[in-house]
Amino acid sequence: MTIVVTGATGTVGRLVVRQLVDSGRKVRAVTRGGAPFPTPIEVVRADLDTPESLTSAFTGAEALLLLCRPATALDVARLAERCGVRRIVTLSSIRAEGERDAPYHLAVERAVESVDVAWTHLRPGMFAANLLGWAEAIRGTGVVREPYSAAAQTPIHEADIAAVAVAALSHDGHAGRKYPLSGPQTLDKPEQLAAIGAGIGRALRFEEISPDDWRARADSLPGFVQDLLLEIWTGSAATPEPVLPTVAEVTGRPARTLAEWAADHAADFGGDPR
């Protein structure tokens, strides 16, 4: 079986490639820049924004990990079907169900569902990797300043998202499934920071600031991103996000903790890499 991975150099894609190779699968890695990969990985330079560029990547493949590109998703899905791809796994979002008025991830899911392939949608919540936004402050002062300290989320290790993707790409029994994914712990912001501290062996401190002060500090983020984050934080402060069992159910192993994630990213936070 040849499996195509789009976004093969991304946060999740690179781990999907690695885990597929480790499991003995034949992998075709799609990148826009033609980044090098070790053998036996086949690399195809193509772009989801230009569907016709993907023909050689899809031809002869049986399964596809598809990133979210709503503008071209239907054309890409139809091309994959014509090229003989029989299974598509989308990297979607746990927020997809709430996008009916302004669909983004949901549009990609619907595009894939409209063609004659088996599909599985992965819907992760908060990526633990989002916390790399704290790395500069942790490296510098060890103090993180943000609003809504009570915002309680379930950060998920990108390796666990990849493991679920590999299962859905490689094995039967996942067709027609929508998999909401979370980490194994609901943690507010000080608890998230403490878990990072435990993972890298440092004492860290969280200080709550007002949303306006945070906006002034976060001026490098587009306004719509600031708005989205504040919406998520206020929502999860009022209603903490639940822990979901999906990772363990699909992979047969518990989801990795945030401290484990931090240990894996120790170098990003100024610590010694494992």
Q: Both 89 and 131 in a single domain?
A: no
Q: Both 66 and 53 in a single domain?
A: yes
Q: Both 108 and 136 in a single domain?
A: no
- Rounded-to-integer distance, Cα 134 and Cα 199, Å: 14
| pLDDT score of 102 | 84
Q: Both 106 and 148 in a single domain?
A: no
| pLDDT score of 207 | 98
Sign of the C-alpha dihedral, residues 41, 45, 48, 53? negative
Looking at the chain, the whole-number percentage of residues with pLDDT higher than 90 is 94
* Per-10-residue mean pLDDT, the chain, length 274: 96 97 96 80 95 97 97 98 98 94 94 98 98 98 98 98 98 98 98 98 98 96 96 98 98 98 97 67
Residue 251 CA, distance from chain mean position: 16
| pLDDT score of 271 | 76
CA dihedral 187, 185, 96, 208 (to 10 degrees): 10
Q: Both 152 and 266 in a single domain?
A: yes
Looking at 58-129, which runs of residues are DSSP E strands? 63-66, 87-91, 118-124
Q: Tens digit of pLDDT for each residue in 98-154?
A: 998 889 999 999 999 999 999 999 999 999 999 999 999 999 999 999 999 999 999
Residue 53 CA, distance from chain mean position: 24
Q: Both 15 and 30 in a single domain?
A: yes
Domain span at 273: 125-156+183-242+256-274
Q: Is residue 221 part of a domain?
A: yes
| 11 SS3 class | coil
Q: Both 143 and 262 in a single domain?
A: yes
Buried-exposed string 111-146: b where 16+ CB fall within 10 A, e elsewhere = bbeebebbbbbbbbbbbbbebeebbebbeeeeebeb
Q: Both 37 and 131 in a single domain?
A: no
| pLDDT score of 34 | 65
Strands 205-208 and 26-31: unpaired
- Rounded-to-integer distance, Cα 28 and Cα 6, Å: 9
Q: For the chain, state the CA radius of gyration.
A: 19
Find the CATH number of the domain harbouring 116. 3.40.50.720
Tell the burial category of 224 from Cβ atoms under 10 Å away from its Cβ (0-12, 13-18, 19+). Answer: exposed
How much is the pTM?
Answer: 0.96
| pLDDT score of 228 | 94
- Rounded-to-integer distance, Cα 183 and Cα 155, Å: 5
Q: Is residue 248 part of a domain?
A: no
